[in-house]
């Protein structure tokens, strides 16, 4: 399809291209625009119908939006900002450089400017910064027919019309009515009689992750947002909640792999930025594994006496790291999904300990038998086997204790993932390994 679009552009068959573009979905149009070069991209955009153009704009990547805004005339820009929902305008302003922001703010009227400033004031990653202010408000004394009239009048500019909010004086949220309820009720029914009054809402200051999880739990299409005086100020729609969930998952993946989370996609992040995001944790972890190295040197006498001890060193450290990584991943993910809570601490600890004993014993038995067969060295088999059980146990316990401790200290549990736990487990397992060796083989 992209090739066809490029061909039509080259051949200047604009009418044909316009007709083709009208049949495509806006999310796809945005992807194609992303692939086009400067002038073609602008031309492509101008070939879209007004409605399609604005919807496509909302799906574009920030860098394409920036290039596009630079090329648009003031009146074209005004068309975009007039039609975008407030949350999208605010997202745009947060992404754009200062000179583009100035142009955007010049293109909106003073009422909009006031709202934008208010929305920009909410902390980043809060419900306030996610929400939009365009929702359908109803009054409790209205009838169903009147409600439909309100929806028909104000609906076109609202992000969703399917959930309507019943407000009392002072913008106090007293009920929720869905269009389904309205459609299935008689025309003269009172809103107050059909509205749902058990309301689940978010505060403007709630964390975006908490909000997104509510969508996951309750299967909402939209969630009302209230301020601390309980006045309704906006709504969050499920498409934005879905984006936040995916963002938060990506962040967890990155943190768990010892990286600073990034805002941009892989390709949009420059090489130096990639390096910067990765080097911090590498330095920290390098420092701690240097300590492990020094610790190893304290047992020089042991591996000088029995050089074969070194042969099991990578296996012990590797297994410890992997076991710790398994447990911490289970616990971090479980906490992120609200399946594991801090009050379950001892339950988790007991479960991991039992899993560790089973896994550790099985691995130790196999390794011990292999060593016996290969080297016919019983003390070595015993040493490695015991060290393996201890390493598995320690790594599984650290793998559940550290993430839960982080949560208790209000840190993100995701930082207590495989990389950090591996280095700590390494240290412990070296210490245990050589001490068991010294003891069993009388090396001191």
What residues from 232 to 261 belong to the interface with a second copy (CB under 8 A)? 238-239, 242-243, 245-246, 249-250, 252-254, 256-259
Q: For the chain, what is the largest distance between any 2 Cα atoms, rounded to a whole number of angstroms?
A: 94
Nearest by Cα to 281 from 261, 251, 258, 256: 258
* Sign of torsion over alpha carbons 84, 89, 95, 101: positive
Question: Does 430 contact a second copy by CB under 8 A?
Answer: yes
415-to-246, 257, 332, 334 alpha-carbon distances in Å: 18, 9, 9, 15
| Shortest distance, position 106 Cβ to a second copy, whole Å | 29
Q: Is 388 left (phi over 0), alpha (psi -120 to 50) or beta?
A: alpha
| Shortest distance, position 209 Cβ to a second copy, whole Å | 13
| Binding residues among 365-384 for a second copy as defined by CB under 8 A | 366-367
| Binding residues among 137-196 for a second copy as defined by CB under 8 A | 148, 151-152, 155-156, 161-162, 179-180, 183-184
| Shortest distance, position 65 Cβ to a second copy, whole Å | 17
Closer by beta carbon to a second copy, 28 or else 207 = 28
CA angle, residues 141, 143, 149, in degrees to nearest 5: 115
Closer by beta carbon to a second copy, 100 or else 317 = 317
List the one residue from 33, 177, 330, 432 that touches a second copy (CB under 8 A): 330
DSSP H helices, 190-344, are 191-194, 208-218, 238-256, 271-297, 300-305, 313-336
List the one residue from 83, 112, 192, 322 that touches a second copy (CB under 8 A): 322
Closer by beta carbon to a second copy, 115 or else 305 = 305
List the one residue from 173, 423, 424, 434 that touches a second copy (CB under 8 A): 423
Question: Does 341 contact a second copy by CB under 8 A?
Answer: no
| Shortest distance, position 98 Cβ to a second copy, whole Å | 28
Closer by beta carbon to a second copy, 72 or else 394 = 394
CA angle, residues 202, 234, 173, in degrees to nearest 5: 70
| Shortest distance, position 152 Cβ to a second copy, whole Å | 6
Length of the chain counted residue by residue: 444
List the one residue from 15, 282, 369, 378 that touches a second copy (CB under 8 A): 282
Nearest by Cα to 125 from 220, 244, 213, 254: 244
List the one residue from 281, 305, 412, 438 that touches a second copy (CB under 8 A): 281
Q: Kind of pairing, strands 137-138 and 172-178?
A: unpaired
How far, in Å, CA of 93 to CA of 103, rounded? 10
Closer by beta carbon to a second copy, 177 or else 331 = 331
Q: How many residues touch a second copy (CB under 8 A)?
A: 107
């Amino acid at each position: 399809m992209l090739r066809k679009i490029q061909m039509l552009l080259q051949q200047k068959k604009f009418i044909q291209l316009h007709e083709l573009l009208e049949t495509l979905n806006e999310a796809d149009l945005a992807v194609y625009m992303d692939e086009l070069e400067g002038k073609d991209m602008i031309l492509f955009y101008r070939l879209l119908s007004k409605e399609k153009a604005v919807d496509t704009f909302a799906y574009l990547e920030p860098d394409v939006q920036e290039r596009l805004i630079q090329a648009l005339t003031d009146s074209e820009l005004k068309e975009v900002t007039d039609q975008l929902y407030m949350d999208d305008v605010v997202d745009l302003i947060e992404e754009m450089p200062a000179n583009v922001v100035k142009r955007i703010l010049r293109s909106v009227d003073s009422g909009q400017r006031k709202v934008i400033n208010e929305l920009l004031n909410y902390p980043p990653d809060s419900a306030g910064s996610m929400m939009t202010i365009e929702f359908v408000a109803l009054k409790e004394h209205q009838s169903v027919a009147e409600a439909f009239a309100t929806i028909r009048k104000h609906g076109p500019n609202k992000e969703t019309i399917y959930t309507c909010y019943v407000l009392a004086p002072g913008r106090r949220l007293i009920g929720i009515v869905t269009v389904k309820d309205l459609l299935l009720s008689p025309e003269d029914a009172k809103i107050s009689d059909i509205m749902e009054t058990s309301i689940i809402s978010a505060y403007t200051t709630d964390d975006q992750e908490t909000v997104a999880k509510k969508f996951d739990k309750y299967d909402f299409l939209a969630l009302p947002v209230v301020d601390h005086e309980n006045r309704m100020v906006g709504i969050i729609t499920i498409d934005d909640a879905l984006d936040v969930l995916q963002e938060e998952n990506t962040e967890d993946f990155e943190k768990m792999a010892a990286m600073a989370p990034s805002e941009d996609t892989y390709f949009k992040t420059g090489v130096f930025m990639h390096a910067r995001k990765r080097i911090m944790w590498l330095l920290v972890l390098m420092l701690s594994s240097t300590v492990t190295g020094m610790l190893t040197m304290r047992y020089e006498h042991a591996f000088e006496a029995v050089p074969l001890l070194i042969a099991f060193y990578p296996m012990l450290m590797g297994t410890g790291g992997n076991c710790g990584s398994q447990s911490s991943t289970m616990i971090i993910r479980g906490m992120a999904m609200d399946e594991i809570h801090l009050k379950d601490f001892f339950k988790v600890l007991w479960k991991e300990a039992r899993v560790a004993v089973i896994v550790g014993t099985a691995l130790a038995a196999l390794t011990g038998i292999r060593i016996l067969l290969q080297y016919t060295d019983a003390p070595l088999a015993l040493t490695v086997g015991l060290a393996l059980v201890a390493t598995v146990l320690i790594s599984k316990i650290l793998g559940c204790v550290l993430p839960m401790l982080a949560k208790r200290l209000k840190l993100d549990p995701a930082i207590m993932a495989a990389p950090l736990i591996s280095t700590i487990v390494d240290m412990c397992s070296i210490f245990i390994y050589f001490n068991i060796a010294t003891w069993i083989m009388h090396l001191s």
